[in-house]
Structure 1
């Protein structure tokens, strides 16, 4: 089960919004997985602090993730309309009428400079493509680069840009879709079909992501040709994950697949547990402003909902196999996953010899 970045082929996915605490990242890395910090919502200064904190907790490789954000524009009229659509939910939470925030996202270029200066062993990117010169600067800083792809065209684009690894994100994955070539609806391929196609198309190692929750899923991904897996939802219910207790409770009580892909929270397609916010905003699905604008407009709602214990208005990102969540310390989860994977592969080997 060797993976050239870590002893075990398990990458803990970078999940924004405070889920990936330094303690979670370090706990995964310390037992031979690759812990990942989500940096997209952190200011450059805070990002630097988090990286340095992780370094006090582990001397093992870890990953830092950013969203590649390109400029988007909306008119004042569009902003006002978007705020008016959200007003009934704001009122229900006791919030005053919304106003456009001072900024819609953190400074991507500033964040990228922090990565180059702090030199984390691994960096990964979502939403869009870095330029080849940007990738080269990261390589010169000693960073390995992972690019997210939801189809073969994106995988080839990342390889051309110089990525060292491709994370093939299947339709089953929780959180934001990474599609940047074509409509996201055209890139909703499950990992069973996606991973072998990407493995055949590129010359760099492939990391499979989407709906993998236990050793059976890891073994299957490895047999499909992946060099490792990336798992997000499975780590959200770990003791070190920094999500709201009601979010953890919702995951642990999930049955079947109650997830849906929605733009309503952030302006970007993302998979999460269906709730009242998604239902009430569904009719505006095609009308919400793009990411990061809608994400900024709903931020106060999500924060107020968390403070009030109103999970029906929180973004509860989750993959399609969330019902398999387990409440374990991160180190124990990684060790359990390794054992389960070894057992699954042994069973397959035994079946071949029967």
Structure 2
């Protein structure tokens, strides 16, 4: 499958929490790529404001939406007990900065339906989903509105399930990718004879053999040769995140940008400590101190928010979520336009 569906083999990963900005979308476009915004953690009104600002640039772009997990919004009594225990574990972290932890919040679906309504009424060129499948009616409605729909998967099993919903493409995320895993069938068994994919290219090849949809590769693709590798494995494009975090146009905290270039950080790890959902981060004190954090998204995200904000305000990277893919050492400063151009010239 050619890159014609996206117009480019370079897609900027949607990075929630403020990292993805209209300015980043513009710079990625100027370099020859396709930019994405992220609706996660934003109100529908804020999402609309970003769409309006980006649409005024007269360039194609996409929007990513988090799919709520019904299990996490209605956790069992045992799960609620674990979450309360984790809240108690976090009290010393809050005391360190003189902040107060909020009570458990279990009802946050990230304004799912309101955001879908906006995207149906005022469609954008591309919409991708993470953390689950949006459902056939949503996929069909968006496609009818003229939107190209992308579902995120992390395995062959998830790819097969996603293909049944009728999307236009799949974003195939390897475990080496930074930030949250898009997995929605945790612990599920792969089809018989499917080995563990050691690299993003291997995972793409496995999914390519199982489904006929265009694929977007994601996970530790840090340069032009890495882009070529996943394209050769069967991807139509690559989704690049960590390599853009330090750029001028990224909205990431400066503390996060600096940490990616700080030799004091020597490894990444998957952790649930910050949000209750597996995510790859630079290993700092918070990651080390809370290795047994329970599942509970977005409840834990809300619990740790005051600590993370205070850590940032204090200039302390040891208790901040420093999302980073396995190839983080290659992320550099400068304009995202130049980063994209380097990828495209080297693939």
**Cross-structure match for 2:229:** 220
Would you identify which runs of 4 or more consecutive aligned residues in structure 1 move more than 2 Å? 5-8, 29-32, 70-82, 96-106, 184-190, 253-257
The 8 Å contact of residues 265 and 282 in structure 2, kept in 1 or not, is answered as: no
**Cross-structure match for 1:296:** 302
Question: Structure 1 residue 2: deviation in Å?
Answer: 5.9
Q: Does 1:165 align with 2:169?
A: yes
Q: Provide the C-alpha distance between the structure 2 equivalents of 1:10 and 1:90, rounded to a whole number of angstroms.
A: 40
**Cross-structure match for 2:60:** 61
Question: Structure 1 residue 254: deviation in Å?
Answer: 4.7
**Cross-structure match for 2:4:** 4
Question: Structure 1 residue 289: deviation in Å?
Answer: 4.4
Q: What TM-score, normalized by structure 1, do the two folds share?
A: 0.89
Q: Does 1:252 align with 2:261?
A: yes
**Cross-structure match for 2:277:** 268
In structure 2, the residue corresponding to 1:229 is in which secondary structure?
A: strand
Per-residue deviation, residues 245-297 of structure 1 (Å, max 9, x unmatched):
12111112358961000111111111010011111111x33xx2411111111
Q: Provide the C-alpha distance between the structure 2 equivalents of 1:325 and 1:258, rounded to a whole number of angstroms.
A: 14
The 8 Å contact of residues 211 and 319 in structure 1, kept in 2 or not, is answered as: yes
The 5 A counterparts of 1:88-127 are 88-100=92-104, 104-127=108-131
In structure 1, the residue corresponding to 2:164 is in which secondary structure?
A: helix
Question: Structure 1 residue 99: deviation in Å?
Answer: 2.9
**Cross-structure match for 1:198:** 207
In structure 1, the residue corresponding to 2:11 is in which secondary structure?
A: strand
Q: Does 1:152 align with 2:156?
A: yes
Count of matched residue positions in the alignment of Structure 1 and Structure 2: 337
**Cross-structure match for 1:344:** none
Structure 2 residues not aligned, in runs of 5+: none
Question: Structure 1 residue 78: deviation in Å?
Answer: 4.7
Q: Provide the C-alpha distance between the structure 2 equivalents of 1:184 and 1:43, rounded to a whole number of angstroms.
A: 32
Per-residue deviation, residues 68-123 of structure 1 (Å, max 9, x unmatched):
11222245655532321110100111113543359645211111111112211000
158 and 305 in structure 1: CA distance in 2 versus 1, 3 angstrom threshold: same
**Cross-structure match for 2:52:** 52
Q: What TM-score, normalized by structure 2, do the two folds share?
A: 0.91
Q: RCO greater where, 1 or 2, for CA within 8 Å and sep 6 or more?
A: 2
